[in-house]
Amino acid sequence: MELYNFLKDITLQAGENIRKQLNEPLLIETKSNPNDLVTNMDKATEKFLFDRIQDTYPDHRIIGEEGSGKDIDNLNGVIWIIDPIDGTLNFVHQQENFAISIGIFIDGEKYAGVVYDVMRNILFEARAGHGAYKNGVKLENITETPLATSIISMNPNWLTKDFTRDIYIPLVRDSRSARSYGSAALDFAYVASNKINAYITLRLHPWDFAGGLIIVEEVGGIVTNQLGEPVNLLTANSIVVANKSLHTEIMNDYLSPFKLELEKIHQGRFSKR
Amino acid sequence: MELYNFLKDITLQAGENIRKQLNEPLLIETKSNPNDLVTNMDKATEKFLFDRIQDTYPDHRIIGEEGSGKDIDNLNGVIWIIDPIDGTLNFVHQQENFAISIGIFIDGEKYAGVVYDVMRNILFEARAGHGAYKNGVKLENITETPLATSIISMNPNWLTKDFTRDIYIPLVRDSRSARSYGSAALDFAYVASNKINAYITLRLHPWDFAGGLIIVEEVGGIVTNQLGEPVNLLTANSIVVANKSLHTEIMNDYLSPFKLELEKIHQGRFSKR
Residue of A nearest to B170 (CA): A160
Inter-helix orientation angle A165-174/B165-174, to 10°? 110
Residue B31 in this model has a pLDDT that exceeds 70:
no
Please, which pLDDT band fits residue B47 given cuts at 50, 70 and 90? very high
List the beta strands (DSSP E) in A89-165.
99-106, 109-117, 122-127, 132-134, 137-138, 151-153
A16 is in an annotated binding site: no
A226 neighbors A247 (Cβ within 8 angstroms):
no
Q: Is A196 annotated as a binding residue?
A: no
Neighbouring C-beta atoms of residue B161, cutoff 10 Å: 15
Instruction: Check CB contact under 8 Å for A176 and B35.
Output: yes
Nearest CB neighbour to A195, from listed B93, B177, B196 = B93
Query: Span B174-200, mean pLDDT?
Result: 98
Closest-approach residue (CA) in chain A for B165? A160
ipTM of the complex: 0.94
Mutate to test the interface with B, among A92, A137, A153, A159 (most CBs of B within 10 A): A159
Which amino acid makes up residue B185?
Answer: A
- Closest to B94 (Cα-Cα) out of B185, B182, B196, B13: B182
In angstroms, the separation between the Cα of residue B217 and the nearest Cα of chain A is 20
Contact A157 B180 (CB under 8 A): no
CA angle A166, B179, B88 (to 5 degrees): 100
- CATH fold group of domain B147-266: D-Maltodextrin-Binding Protein; domain 2 (3.40.190)
Tell me which of B69 and A187 has the higher pLDDT.
A187
pLDDT at B210 over 70: yes
Percent of chain A with pLDDT over 70: 94
Chain A positions touching B156 (Cβ under 8 A) are: 154, 156, 159, 172, 178, 180
Q: Which of B35, B96, B180 minimises the CB distance to A180? A: B180
pLDDT score, position A39? 74
> In chain B, what are the domain boundaries?
2-138, 147-266
pLDDT value, residue A33: 61
Q: Is A85 annotated as a binding residue?
A: yes
A176 three-class SS: coil
d(CA A226, CA A114): 24
Q: What is the pLDDT of residue B202?
A: 94
Whole-number pLDDT of residue A68: 84
Torsion sign (Cα): B132, B134, B139, B144: negative
CATH of region A2-138: 3.30.540.10
Looking at chain A, how many residues does it have? 273
pLDDT of residue B28 exceeding 70, the answer is no
Is the pLDDT at B35 greater than 60? The verdict is: no
pLDDT the model gives residue B4: 98
Confidence of residue A26 (pLDDT cuts 50, 70, 90): very low
Binding residue per annotation — A73? no
Mean pLDDT in residue range A146-168: 96
Residue A250 or B42, more confident: A250
pLDDT of residue A159 exceeding 60, the answer is yes
Tens digit of pLDDT for each residue in A64-122? 987 888 899 999 999 999 999 999 999 999 999 999 999 999 999 999 999 999 999 99
A166 labelled as ligand-binding?
no
- Higher-pLDDT residue of A9, A67: A9
> What's the CA gap between A4 and B185, in Å, rounded?
41
| Mutation choice for A interface testing from B30, B179, B195 by most A CBs within 10 A | B179
Q: Which residues of B touch A194 (CB under 8 A)?
A: 93
Question: pLDDT tier at B16 (50, 70, 90 boundaries)?
Answer: very high
Q: How far is A106 from chain B (nearest CA, A)?
A: 34
How confident is the model over B93-151, as pLDDT tens digits? 999 999 999 999 999 999 999 999 999 999 999 999 999 999 999 999 999 999 999 99
